[in-house]
Chain A
Amino acid sequence: MGEKKTITLTVTRYRPEQEESPTEQSYEVEFRDDWVVLDALNHIKDRVDGTLSFRWSCRMGVCGSCGMMVNGVPKLTCAAFLRDYYPGEVRVEPLVNFPILRDLVVDIDDFMQKLKAVKPWIVRREEKPVAEGEYLQTPDQLAEYKQFSMCINCLLCYAACPVYGLEPEFIGPAAIALAHRYNLDSRDEGREGRKQVIASSAGIWECTFVGECTEVCPKDVDPAAAIQRTKVATTTDWVKSILWPWGKR
């Protein structure tokens, strides 16, 4: 057998109980052609350094837990193949624009609050009683919002968004995309209520359409499109309210 190939992973370490600010640690890991960065991290944790902390779960790009910066790009580490970086160094850092709790784990409470604020569920003026049966929806109606429903809350878009980095109160791509998803859902009646949050100055108007959120999204949600379309819809509503103030809302 030939000499074992290795690859270097340089990982952010932050142990708040023993240091003031983050440091780095390099590990030399066996390179396997079918390994992803997450496999390498788990190898490190299992065999080399059990103190390394990071989030992960499904290993297949549906849970949204393993988002980290890989060579400066927000990625799901379960979807970033070592072979795409080999033989170069792989730098793994916690998602930017979030406070670091420990090592590669970031505080996502801010996002969780914002997500709740946009009410990402079917909002009805009056709940339909169970006896009346289920909501019916045609394939076309589903197609309207399906793309935006694919969000796995991985927060890569927040790491990619410079506006979120500069303005921490910005609602952010995923939250707005999910609000849009529900606004487009034929069963939903919550659009006006969501507007208070979405069309506030911390909402869609902060966005300057950098577009990086869409570039890094692993599920092709296209949050940038969701935000811009919401800007158009909100502006159209506003024009209508000026020209036809008596119109039905």
Chain B
Amino acid sequence: MSESEPEYPYKAYRRPMPATWWLRNRKYFMFMMRELSSVFVALFVLLYLYAFFLLSKGPVVYGEFQKSLRSGGFIAFYVVALLFAVYHSCTWFRLAAKIQVVRLGRWTVPGSLVTAGAFAGWVVVSAAVITFFAM
């Protein structure tokens, strides 16, 4: 492709890619939101660990923390975190079907069915957690 042909004598123009490329359209923006969801997931699990850390400090400290969770600030955070976490789950199950090809014998399970199965599993696991902790 290169050696025998004459060099193109003019300069090719390289368009710069701005760091705000992900604001260009809705799909790119939602991709960034999906990535951002991991931050809220991490923040939540760290807060969750913090509760157990306080558990080791005794009932008074732990009780104070449980009370502070009722504050508007915390509730607002958890609502936002829940939205992001649910978005992560939805995108994760949808994309997982693409990554993992599921075969039963000679039949390839269609992606939509794999996703549906994953969502069903999510519901079952969530129900189990709620039942275990709150019933």
Contact = CB atoms under 8 A, between A and B. Distances in A.
State whether these chains interact. yes
Interface of A: 14, 16-17, 21-22, 72, 96-97, 99-102, 107, 109, 112, 140, 162, 165-166, 208-212, 215, 222, 224-225, 228-229, 231-232
Interface in B1-27: 1-2, 8, 10-15, 17, 21-22, 24-25, 27
B55 interface: no
A100 B100 contact: no
A16 B11 contact: yes
B31 interface: yes
B98 A99 contact: no
Contact of B98 (A96, A100, A210, A225): A225
B12 A162 contact: no
Interface centre among A14, A72, A162, A232 (most CB of B within 10 A): A162
Nearest to A165: B17
Interface residues of B, number: 24
A112 to B, nearest CB: 6
B7 to A, nearest CB: 12
Contacts, number: 59
22 contacts: A16-B10, A16-B11, A16-B12, A16-B13, A22-B13, A22-B15, A99-B13, A109-B1, A112-B1, A140-B106, A162-B21, A162-B22, A165-B17, A165-B21, A209-B95, A210-B28, A212-B31, A215-B27, A224-B98, A225-B99, A228-B98, A229-B99
Contact of A72 (B1, B22, B24, B106): B24
B106 to A, nearest CB: 7
Contacts of B100: 232
Given A72-B25, A109-B1, A162-B21, A228 B99 contact: yes
A151 B76 CA distance: 47
Interface of B: 1-2, 8, 10-15, 17, 21-22, 24-25, 27-28, 31, 35, 95, 98-101, 106
Given A72-B25, A210-B31, A211-B31, A99 B99 contact: no
A100 B21 contact: no
A208 B2 CA distance: 32
A75 to B, nearest CB: 14
Given A166-B17, A225-B99, A228-B98, A99 B12 contact: yes
Given A212-B28, A224-B98, A231-B99, 15 more contacts: A22-B15, A101-B8, A101-B12, A102-B10, A109-B2, A112-B1, A162-B17, A162-B28, A166-B21, A208-B35, A210-B28, A211-B95, A215-B27, A228-B99, A232-B100
Nearest to A97: B17
